[in-house]
């Protein structure tokens, strides 16, 4: 694998705006904190990795979105095929999306025919506006549109407060919705797109490049950064099996290194999700209240997971609400 680093710092603003929603308020709104911006100031170095065979991945840092990183906290990818280019997650802000577009154009003048938004979280979607003039199909899960309706304006406001409106852009709704499985032909390679049942969120897509055996599970696979549960724990365990059945040669996770061994990475994630499931179920059976459970369940699972303290308690609460009705 050859790689090279690119220095890039977002334009303009030097002072972070007020953050009008505290985490507690965000929580009270029942909205996911995953990938919402927080204050930060360090300049950020982006790394774009050339994985060969026309496949490029921008490996993102394990941070919350900040003015310094311009919301670029999720991995983004593009695949250059014989006839066209496909983008997987266009970035976390329009500024991030413009950066990605410029990187594509340094490498190819081929039309960008497809931009896939793998789920509702802002770090995976808000770069889409940068690609509108390319007139691609914007592809999303059939449940992405209602998810945008429910959360889009909140995410937008939250990002604007941090990045400024000129850097955020607007949400772009999908022009093609996937409810099962679809195949995209880039001329010399087929890309399979799978619509999942509720798991990380209720609108997760994954992609599989059949020509290289590379899986793009998006946020169905977290590496190093603690997984965040915003859909269904039981569903995530189920959909993980579905991904494993593909037996991919390698994977590009939504958060983590540009490329990983799928089996090992998923096994590690499953250890955490299983501990979360089993511990939550035990807490419910023992009559432990949800707040107490959020402090104790899976609390010993943090080793090796970045941002564990920020997300484990929230994951327990999400799991508790789901499992208490079993």
The minimum distance between CB 35 and Zn ion, in angstroms, equals: 6
Measured from the CB atom, the residue of 8 and 222 that comes closer to Zn ion is 222
Stretch that binds Zn ion, among 11-19, 58-66, 117-125, 208-216 (CB under 5 A): 117-125
Shortest distance (Å) from residue 96 CB to Zn ion: 15
- Choose the stretch contacting Zn ion; rule: CB under 5 A; options: 113-121, 202-210, 244-252, 284-292: 113-121
Number of residues interacting with Zn ion: please give it, by CB under 5 A. 2
With contact defined as beta carbons under 8 Å apart, do 138 and 127 qualify?
A: no
Which of these segments, 23-31, 119-127, 283-291, 292-300, binds Zn ion (CB under 5 A)? 119-127
Q: Which is nearer to Zn ion, 121 or 141 (CB)?
A: 121
CB of 262 to Zn ion, least distance (A): 18
Of the pair 75, 84, the CB lying nearest Zn ion is at 75
Q: From residue 270, how far is each of 112, 237, 267 by CA, in Å? A: 35, 7, 5
Of 252, 243, 225, the residue nearest 312 (C-alpha): 225
Nearer to Zn ion, 77 or 85 (CB): 77
Please say which residue, 114 or 121, places its beta carbon nearer to Zn ion: 121
Q: Is 189 in the site for Zn ion (CB under 5 A)?
A: no
Distance CA 115, CA 104 (A): 13
| Residue 47 Cα to chain centre, angstroms | 17
3-state secondary structure of 13: coil
Which range, of 88-96, 114-122, 129-137, 154-162, touches Zn ion by CB under 5 A?
114-122
Do the Cβ atoms of 162 and 16 come closer than 8 Å? Answer: yes
CB of 205 to Zn ion, least distance (A): 12
Residue 27 CB neighbours (<10 A): 14
Indicate the helix (H) or strand (E) that contains 254: strand 250-255
Give min distance, CB of 50 to Zn ion, in A: 25
Alpha-carbon span 126 to 90, nearest angstrom:
7
Q: Which stretch binds Zn ion (CB under 5 A): 21-29, 115-123, 180-188, 307-315?
A: 115-123
Tokens 């797109």 belong to 193
Give the side-chain half-sphere CA count within 13 A for 194: 20
Bridge partner residues of 115 (DSSP): 87, 138
Nearest CB to Zn ion, comparing residues 199 and 259: 199
141 binds Zn ion (CB under 5 A): no
**Strand order of the sheet with strand 190-195?**
181-185, 190-195, 205-209, 214-222, 250-255
User: How would DSSP label each residue in 174-237?
Assistant: -SEEESSEEEEE-SS-EEEEEEPPSSSSSS-EEEEETTTTEEEEEEEEESSBPP--SS-HHHHH
Instruction: Decide whether 113 or 314 has the Cβ nearer to Zn ion.
Output: 314
Q: In this structure, what DSSP letter does residue 240 have? A: H
By rule CB under 5 A, what string of x and - marks binding of each residue 214-253 to Zn ion? -----x----------------------------------
- Contact string (CB under 5 A) for Zn ion, positions 26-65, x = contact: ----------------------------------------
121 near Zn ion, rule: CB under 5 A: yes
What is the smallest separation between the CB atom of 124 and Zn ion, expressed in angstroms? 6
Contact positions vs Zn ion (CB under 5 A):
121, 219
């Amino acid at each position: 694998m050859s790689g090279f680093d690119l220095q890039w710092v977002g334009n303009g603003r030097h002072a972070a705006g007020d953050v009008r929603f505290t985490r507690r308020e965000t929580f009270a709104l029942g909205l996911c904190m995953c990938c919402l911006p927080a204050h930060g100031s360090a300049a950020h170095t982006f790394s774009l990795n050339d994985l060969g065979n026309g496949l490029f991945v921008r490996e993102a840092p394990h941070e919350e979105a900040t003015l310094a990183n311009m919301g670029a906290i999720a991995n983004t990818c593009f695949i250059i095929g014989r006839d066209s280019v496909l983008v997987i997650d266009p970035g976390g802000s329009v500024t991030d999306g413009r950066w990605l577009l410029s990187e594509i154009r340094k490498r190819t003048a081929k039309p960008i025919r497809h931009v896939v938004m793998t789920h509702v979280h802002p770090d995976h979607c808000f770069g889409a506006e940068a690609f509108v003039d390319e007139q691609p199909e914007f592809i999303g899960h059939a449940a992405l549109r209602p998810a945008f309706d429910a959360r889009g304006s909140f995410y937008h406001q939250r990002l604007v407060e941090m990045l400024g409106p000129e850097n955020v852009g607007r949400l772009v709704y999908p022009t093609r919705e996937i409810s099962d499985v679809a195949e995209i032909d880039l001329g010399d390679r087929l890309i399979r797109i799978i619509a999942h049942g509720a798991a990380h969120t209720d609108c997760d897509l994954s992609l599989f490049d059949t020509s290289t055996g590379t899986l793009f599970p998006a946020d169905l696979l977290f590496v190093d950064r603690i997984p965040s549960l915003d859909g269904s724990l039981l569903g995530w365990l189920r959909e993980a099996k579905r991904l494993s059945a593909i037996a991919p040669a390698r994977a590009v996770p939504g958060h983590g290194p540009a490329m990983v061994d799928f089996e090992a990475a998923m096994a590690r994630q499953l250890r955490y999700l299983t501990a979360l499931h089993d511990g939550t179920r035990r807490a419910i059976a023992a009559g432990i209240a949800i707040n107490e459970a959020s402090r104790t369940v899976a609390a010993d699972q943090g080793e090796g997971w970045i941002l564990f303290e920020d997300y484990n308690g929230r994951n327990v609460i999400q799991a508790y609400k789901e499992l208490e009705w079993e």
